[in-house]
Amino acid sequence: MHSSQRAADMAFWTVWTDPTLAWFADNGLVGLGLLTFTEAFIQPIPPDLLVLPMAASANDPARLTLIFLVVTLSSVLGSLVAWWMGERWGKPLLDRFAKPSTVRRFDTLVTRYGAFGVFIAALSPIPYKVLGWCAGIGGMDRRQFIAAGLVGRSLRFGAEVLLVGLYGDLLLEFLKGPGFMVVSLTGALLAWPAWRWWKGLDEMPDEEE
């Protein structure tokens, strides 16, 4: 039952995302900006699905710079919408669109770590929109939220654009050989402590008043 339901969910996801992603891709930088902006507060398609192929096909540094600026600024602007949504609609928004355990972890990031927590979320692949909702609900200072998100998003997307744009062919050749196993093992070793830390946020006791 569970496997058939999972297959149905994946089929629905593929049917929905494929034409949607194709529409964004057909509109170039404008599509990238729209995809990134909306992903930061409501829809689930990650901008990386466009950033990587666009960076790989870029012909000059100016094009790579544009891709970086569009995806970074669009993501930060979209996160401001998420912050406003959290401030405006509060807890019912989280109850409807996010798992309770995920909400608790993001609450911990915002309340315990503040701007540094926003930076972690902006730099990582964890759902940035939920953090924006929590930051708005918690009344986090908007300027700190913007600054931390801008730094984190710049580092994340900057690394993607730089590595794929400048070394795309070399990376591809490397991954075709034993490099794929090396990257996979390294990623797993790095992801394991990060995953444990992320799961542990749900178990941290509330700070004493």
CA neighbor of 183 nearest in space, from 171, 196, 192, 194: 171
Sequence length of the chain is 209
pLDDT of 158: 92
DSSP one-letter string for 131-171: HHHHHHHTT--HHHHHHHHHHHHHHHHHHHHHHHHHHHHHH
Q: Among 42-56, 115-129, 137-151, which is the least confidently predicted range? A: 115-129
Token pair for 24: 């964004």
Q: Mind listing the pLDDT tens digit for each residue in 105-116? A: 777 777 777 888
pTM of the model: 0.74
